[in-house]
Amino acid sequence: MDENEAREKILEAAEELYYRKGFAAVGMDELRTAAGVSLRRMYSLFPAKGDIIGAVLRRKHVEWEAGLASAVAKAGSDPRGRLLAVYSHLEQWFCSDGFRGCAFINAFGELGGTHPEVAKIVMEHKKSFQQQMASFAADMGLPPELAHQLSMLAEGAQTTAAISADPRAAVQARAAAEVLIDASLAR
């Protein structure tokens, strides 16, 4: 197995284990076993557990961006549809097998206070999402503060769906978003 293959196996195993069990709960030996690589190889590719966590979160960011872009593209050119597609994307995600909430919120909750690099990655991811929402809102002529409110609805839906195991949190967030959008447009 070459270096790229080993790296991919480690990251795939880490992503699955961290999401299912938690970042702090998974030790390097468990990860090594799940990835099928030697501990020596793993440490040569990732000198510390924090390096693996950072790489997993960066992968999750790319995955999130691609999924969101696909959902928004399916909405076509209608600015309102594109903005509301965010909540449809959330609903699909919440209905997926093994949904356990936002990996970024989970990582921040577990490690954000003690791992500055994790906190930085999470903040960058959330900032990127807010910028996307601001762009979607601007396409409709909506004010920037509304984009922040719509982002908060999406973030709250993620947490609520994870805790309650109820994907309807996305539907409820979308309904609230529609009320806010309509009220803003009526002004």
Which residues are within 8 A (CB) of 35 and not within 5 positions of it... i.e. 6 or more apart? 6, 9, 10, 12, 13, 14, 42
Q: Is the dihedral of CA 54, 58, 59, 63 positive or negative?
A: positive
pLDDT beneath 70: ranges in the chain: none
Q: What is the pTM assigned to this prediction? A: 0.92
Does domain 57-186 fall under CATH 1.10.357.10? My reply is: yes
Distance CA 58, CA 37 (A): 22
pLDDT tens per residue, range 21-32: 999 999 999 999
CATH topology of domain 1-47: Arc Repressor Mutant, subunit A (1.10.10)
Q: Same fold for the domain at 1-47 and the one at 57-186?
A: no
Question: Residue ranges of the domains in the chain?
Answer: 1-47, 57-186
With beta carbons less than 8 A apart as the criterion, state whether 174 and 84 touch: yes
pLDDT tens per residue, range 107-119: 999 998 889 999 9
Residue with tokens 């769906």: 161
With beta carbons less than 8 A apart as the criterion, state whether 59 and 15 touch: yes
Identify the pLDDT of residue 17: 97
Of 174, 20, 22, 23, the C-alpha closest to 99 is: 20
Distance CA 56, CA 154 (A): 22
With beta carbons less than 8 A apart as the criterion, state whether 117 and 50 touch: yes
